[in-house]
Amino acid sequence: MFRRSLSLTAPFALLFASSFAVAQTAPVAPPPAAAGPRPVPTTLAPPAAPPGATGPDAPVSKVTEDLEAKLASMQRGGGLTADQAAQKAMATSVDVAGKRSSIAVADAQVDATSAPFIPKLDLQARYTRLSSIHPAPFNIGGMSVDPATIFPIILNNYNLQATLTIPLSDYVLRMSSAMAGSKHSKSAADLDEQATRLAVARDARVAYYQWIRAQGANYVAAQALEAARGHAADAKNAFDAGLVSRADLLRALSQVKSAELTVAHYNNLVANSTEQLRVAMGDPSSANYDIGENILTELPPFPAPPTTEAGYGEALERRLEVRQLGESEASLREQAKVARAGNYPRLDAQGNLIYANPNQRYVPSSATWHSTWDASLILSWTPTNIFGSQANAHVAEAHADEVASKRAALKNGLRLEVNQAMNALTEAQASLASAREGLVAAEENYRVRRELYRAGKATVVDVTDAETDLTRSRLEVVNSHVDERIARVALTHALGRDVGH
């Protein structure tokens, strides 16, 4: 451990660093009476222990050496940060990829919606072979006349026809609502994708900070195991000397087993939190990360809303989920309008251009190509379609009402989310202030125990217990910093302030 006082502003070392070895510091002079800023250490490496040093001046342990290496790596930079984790998670998230597919579907739906309103052009080419007939002759003025001489029988018929149909009534009754509905649906898909990206980024940041917390707890557990083993060794020596009972020895050995179980638990916690981070970022199970963010850095004040109501109003204005459900509801309302248009008659304009051999409008018929055209207004109505139209409209309205209910429930959920996030931030900030005060007290207690040990008025166990309390106090500072960052992430997302980032 460090042989000097550590500043709370020192990079990750103050998290849980300088106290993992039981007794590893040189004599420290009592602090001056006047309070002032503590010096920031320039190195994480403790001074070399003098040859043969024991007790508080013994060389650092393997646990501390491993931690020092990690802290030194973190201070050099280049490790993983919360923002990097969030960016990579958004880039690789399968949920975000699914929402992008939904956007593509919505884009295609816009095109599909506009297609029926484009004038319909039908092109047709037909060849017809007629069977041969022999019409009976008829009399004209007492003379027998062969009909074939007046009306030639043409067995080969050719017809080229172009038909243009314009849905005039659809332009009035359907097109506006149909296009508005598809655009609302497209907007809903866009907002859903953006909201999913922000949720994924929030979860990745939280996973990152939980990963740091797990590593801190794991180091504290390892240090506690070393302390327990030291206590057990002292108890064994005391038992051999007849100074303590066998029950005391067994109790010390039981503490070692309990500490070993705790270490195994936190090893699993580190493995699980690391794997969660890998999954969030789409990395293979072989990926490992270095901490690249100093979570003990003092953060600027968070501009929290003055009241819960103010925060709730901000969330209603900014949160994409509220807007997304509003767009979905509007789309369904427009679909209901389109369905109701089936209650009314249709009016279509139609034109035909015919180029035929023979052309039926030319009399008498001849095996000659002729072109003709015609134009029509067609008014049609199928009253029985009303039943289906009304049913489809009711289905769309019911779905719209369902989405409206979800939107109302979301608003209620937002009120709770904002309230909880604001309270969590307030609690985390108060916890951090308390943890800092506790760390000051633990550092002073450790300093006093070290001095008493050197004066022969305390045992190594006393120093070890004081160091354990100091380590726990530093862990409380770590946890408080992690809690504050998680609370900021949660409140930023709850208020919708991450929109556009």
The per-residue pLDDT for range 34-87, each reduced to its tens digit, is 444 443 333 333 444 455 555 555 555 666 666 666 655 555 556 899 999 999
Q: How does the average pLDDT of the chain come out, rounded?
A: 84
Strand partners, 354: 161, 372
Task: Please say whether the beta carbons of 467 and 477 come within 8 A.
Answer: no
373 by Cβ neighbours in 10 Å (0-12 / 13-18 / 19+) ranks as exposed
**Helical axes 460-495 vs 385-454, angle rounded to 10°:** 160
Query: pLDDT at residue 28 above 80?
Result: no
CA angle, 400 then 404 then 405, to 5°: 120
pLDDT of residue 280: 94
Phi-psi map region of 31: left, alpha, beta (phi>0 left; psi -120 to 50 alpha):
beta
Percentage of residues of the chain with pLDDT beyond 70: 84
- 7: confidence class by pLDDT, cuts 50, 70, 90: very low
Query: pLDDT at residue 17 above 60?
Result: no
Pairing of strands 138-140, 143-145: antiparallel
pLDDT of residue 42: 33
- 168: confidence class by pLDDT, cuts 50, 70, 90: very high
Task: Please say whether the beta carbons of 236 and 229 come within 8 A.
Answer: no
pLDDT of residue 43: 34
Report the distance separating Cα 76 and Cα 12, nearest Å. Answer: 12
pLDDT of residue 347: 96
For the stretch 476-493, pLDDT in tens is 888 899 999 999 999 999
Tokens encoding 490: 């949660």
- 378: confidence class by pLDDT, cuts 50, 70, 90: very high
Report the distance separating Cα 481 and Cα 387, nearest Å. Answer: 64
Query: pLDDT at residue 459 above 90?
Result: no
Give the DSSP H/E element, type plus range, for residue 138.
Answer: strand 138-140
Strand partners, 62: none
Neighbours of 61 (CB within 10 A): 19
For the stretch 219-275, pLDDT in tens is 888 888 887 888 788 888 888 888 878 888 898 899 889 889 999 999 999 999 999
pLDDT of residue 55: 53
Instruction: Give the CATH architecture of domain 13-99+185-325+403-495.
Output: Up-down Bundle (1.20)
CA distances, 261 to each of 205, 249, 461, 474 (Å): 29, 19, 22, 22
Query: pLDDT at residue 293 above 90?
Result: no
Is the pTM value of this prediction over 0.85? Answer: no
Strand partners, 372: 354
pLDDT of residue 79: 83
pLDDT of residue 52: 55
pLDDT of residue 73: 57
Residue 141 DSSP one-character state: T
pLDDT of residue 261: 94
Report the distance separating Cα 467 and Cα 443, nearest Å. Answer: 8
Sign (positive or negative) of CA dihedral 360, 364, 366, 371:
negative
pLDDT of residue 74: 53
Kindly state the average pLDDT of the residues 88-102.
95
Q: What is the DSSP string of 368-385?
A: --EEEEEEEEEEE--TTH
Residue 291 DSSP one-character state: B
Kindly state the average pLDDT of the residues 107-124.
94
